[in-house]
Amino acid sequence: MTLNGHRMVERNARRILRFFPEADVERTRDSIQIQLVDDHALVVLVSAEAFEIRLPTVEWNGPHSPEPSSRLWRRVKATRGLSDEKLQALLADAKKAREAEFGRCRFCGGSFPPEHRFRNDICHSCATLHLHVVY
């Protein structure tokens, strides 16, 4: 599907990149993955039909092999009715949702996302150090 010589997926990706020009971009045949580079990085999978806003996570492929991944937060259709203001508000809401997932470690006082915590109030490093948890 093309629009004035540009594929819809490229047009949709440019809409996201206007808000985050420093983002990392990966292109496949049918989609573009945009990773926002900051403390609470988001991932947006862009297709001709939709924006899939994803939050970072980790998949454990073995006892010592955490692999970066992402999980679906919200998927919205890329329609003419989706204004840039609405799209920007959705991205801001996703960042707020990600920030809300962070919790303080009772031992070190650091702020960690759920994928880097042993419990709600204990990070992985402190679980190893203080509770002798082995990962």
Tens-digit pLDDT profile for residues 47-67:
999 999 999 998 888 777 888
Residues 16 and 29 in one domain: yes
Residues 85 and 64 in one domain: yes
Residues 116 and 81 in one domain: no
Distances 60 to 38, 101, 135 between C-alpha atoms, Å: 23, 19, 10
If one counts the domains in the chain, the total is: 2
Residues 128, 135: Cα–Cα separation, whole Å = 8
Structure confidence at residue 60 (pLDDT) = 80
Structure confidence at residue 5 (pLDDT) = 42
Mean pLDDT over 102-123 rounds to 95
Of the ranges 35-44, 52-61, 113-122, which one carries the lowest mean pLDDT score? 35-44
Give the range of the structural domain holding residue 16, as residue numbers without chain letter.
2-101
Tokens 């924006």 sit on residue? 51
- Cβ-in-10-Å burial (0-12, 13-18, 19+) of 124 comes to middle
Strand 66-77, strand 50-60: pairing: antiparallel
